[in-house]
Chains A and B, each alone.
Chain A
Amino acid sequence: MIVGTGRAASRIDPATFEALSLAARRRLLRMHFESGVGHIGGDLSALDVMLHLHHRVMGEDDTFVLSKGHAAGALYVTLWSRGLLSDEDLRSFHADGSRLAGHPVPGWSDAIPVATGSLGHGLPMAAGIALADRYASQPGRVWCLTSDGEWQEGSNWEALIFARHQRLANLTVLVDANGLQAFGRTRDVASMTNLRRRFESFGVPTIEADGHDAAALAAAIDGHEDGLRVVVLRTVKGKGVSFMEDRLEWHYRPLTDDLFQRALRELED
C-alpha cells in the first residue's frame, strides 16, 4: 500500500495517453470482474480525467479530491497506473480487511486525502483544503471531481458559493457529466441540463470539454491554473465498452465471465 502521493506528473504525450487509457480500462474491468462488483459505468466515465490529472497535470503540491466516491475503482486503477498501487492491492478491491473499499476510506494514503461516498461532501472539503493552502501560502492546486447528478445536493451549491466568495483561486471543480445517475437520466430526474449556465450564474468561470479526448482534456485543464473555475466534462457512462455505454444498469451490474471477455476484446490495443 502507498503512503505518499508519489506524484511528479510524467507529462506523457497524447498517443501514449490513449494507450494508457486502454490499459487502465482493461485493468479496471479485471479488478471489477475478480471482485464481482459493479459501479463500472461511472468508473469508465471518470477514468480519463483522473488519468489525465495524475499523469499529465498534477505535481507534488497538488491535491485530488474524488467527490464522486463511487468511482473509487477508477481512482485505484489510476494510482496503480502511476505505480502507487500494485496488482496485489487491486485484487483486494472490496475484499474483507482491504483499504480498497467500494468508496474511499480515510487515513491510509496521501493520494486520497479525504474519504467520500455520500455525495456533496468532496467539494466543500476540497474548498477547506484550498483555503488552508492559501493560509499557508502553499503552492499547488486542489482538483475536485464531482458527478453531474451530485449537483442535486445542496451542499455542493453551498460550497460553490463559498469558494466563489472566498475567491479560492487554487481550486478547480471538475464535473463528470455522463448524464446518468442511479435511477434515471439527470435530465429526467431533476432537469439537470445546461450545468455550465448554472455554474456561470454563480459567477464561476466555466468551460465544457470532451472528457475522454486527450487533446480536449489538455486544452480545458492544462495551463488554466489561474483562478476558481469549473470544467464540465462531457462523458459517457461505461465509455469504451459498447454494451455498457450510456446504459444505466452499468451503474450497478457486475461482469459475468462472458461479458468480461467480450469487453476485453473491445479494449485491445
Chain B
Amino acid sequence: MRDAACSRWIDLFRRRPFAFLTGDLGYDALEPLREVMGDRFINAGLAEQSMVSVAAGLATRGIEAWVYTIGPFGYARACEQIRNDVCHHGLSVRLVCNGGGFGYGTMGPSHHSLEDYGILLTLPDLRVFVPAFDEDVVAAVDRIAERSGPAFLRLGRGEAPDGWTAPPFAPWRRLASGAGPVVVVVGPIVGGLLARINELVPDDRPEIWSLSELPVEDLPAGLLRSIEARDVLLVVEEHVAHGGAGPMIANWLLANGRAPRRYVHLHAHVRPGEAGGSQAHHRRECGLDVDSLLDRIRSARLGR
C-alpha cells in the first residue's frame, strides 16, 4: 500500500503543493516523493511530537501537511500533539501510519498498531481511513486530500485473492453475498477470508462487508436488512476491542433498535510478555487467522 500511496502523493503534489513530513521513515519507498517535492519533503527526524506540531503550524497557514511514521510512533507518542495542536484547531493534518494492526509482526509489540483508530476517534472531527486492498489506497488518499480537517490513514499490506477485482473504494462495500452470517471486516484481513470462502458449505457462506472509513455514522440499508434477516453479526478487526469498529457498530444497532440476536466481536488483544512472531502468528493467537474466522462463522450460524 505504501508504494501506491507514494505514487498518488506525487500525482497530488503536481496538482497542488503540500508539505510532507516523515519521522525518518520511508526507506526504499518514499524516495521518488522526496525527489519530486524538494524542500516540501521534510525528514523531521526522530521527533514525532515536534513533527506533528510543526505540521499543525504549517496547516494554520493553509498548507496541507501529511505526516508519515510507523503507527504507535504517531498515534501514541504524539497523541497530545494530535489532540491539542491538530484536532482542537480543526487543522488539515493527515497522519499516515504504516504497519496497521500486527503489520510489523516480528518487530515486536512496540511497532504494532492495535489501538490507533480507537484512540484517534476519540478526538474531534478526525476521520479514519482503513484501505482493505492495495487498489483502495489511491481513492483513500484522494478522499483525504479532498477533506478539510484532520485525517488518519492506516496502511497495511493488501491481501486480496489472486484475480480478485476490488469494487471501488467506499466506506462500506458488500464483497460477498452468502446465505450465512453477516460479517463486517475492517481492513486487509478481509482478503484472506474472501480467498477461502468457498471452503464453507453454501449455507455457512457469509455475507461479507468491508468497512473502510470510521467513525461509524450510519449503517447501509442493505447491511441492516441482512442483519435483520440472519439475526447474527460478526465484526472482525485487527484492533483491540476497546474503541474498535465492533463497539461502534454494536452501539449504533442498540441505539437504533436494530440489534441482532447474536453479535460476535473478533478482535486483537495484547498480552504483556507474550512471545513474538509474524503478523500471521499474532493473528492466530488472537483467532483472527482465516482458519479461526471460518470456524467462528460456522459456529455463529449454528448459534454456538
Q: Which positions in A face B, CB cutoff 8 Å?
A: 106-107, 113-118, 120-121, 124-133, 135-136, 154-155, 158-159, 161-162, 165-166
Contact = CB atoms under 8 A, between A and B. Distances in A.
Interface string B35-70: 000011010110101111111111111110100000
Contacts, number: 102
B84 to A, nearest CB: 6
B45 A129 contact: no
Interface of A is mostly: helix
B84 A117 contact: yes
12 contacts: A106-B88, A114-B89, A121-B84, A124-B85, A126-B57, A127-B53, A128-B65, A129-B57, A136-B61, A155-B50, A158-B45, A158-B50
B60 A124 contact: no
A148 to B, nearest CB: 19
Interface of B is mostly: helix
B53 A159 contact: yes
Given A114-B56, A135-B40, 7 more contacts: A131-B19, A131-B58, A158-B45, A162-B44, A162-B50, A162-B51, A162-B54
Contacts of B60: 113-114, 125, 128-129, 132
Interface of B: 19, 39-40, 42, 44-45, 47, 49-63, 65, 80-81, 84-85, 88-90
B161 to A, nearest CB: 43
A161 B58 contact: no
B42 A128 contact: no
B60 to A, nearest CB: 6
Interface centre among B55, B57, B62 (most CB of A within 10 A): B57
A124 B54 contact: yes
A155 B40 contact: no
B45 A107 contact: no
A125 B57 contact: yes
A248 B45 CA distance: 37
A114 B85 contact: yes
B55 A128 contact: yes
A117 B80 CA distance: 11
Given A127-B57, A128-B57, A132-B63, A120 B49 contact: yes
A58 to B, nearest CB: 17
B57 A132 contact: yes
A155 B56 CA distance: 14
| 6 closest A-B pairs by CB | A128-B57, A124-B53, A158-B50, A132-B61, A158-B47, A128-B54
B88 A115 contact: yes
Contacts of B57: 114, 124-132
Contacts of A165: 45
Contacts of B58: 128-129, 131-132
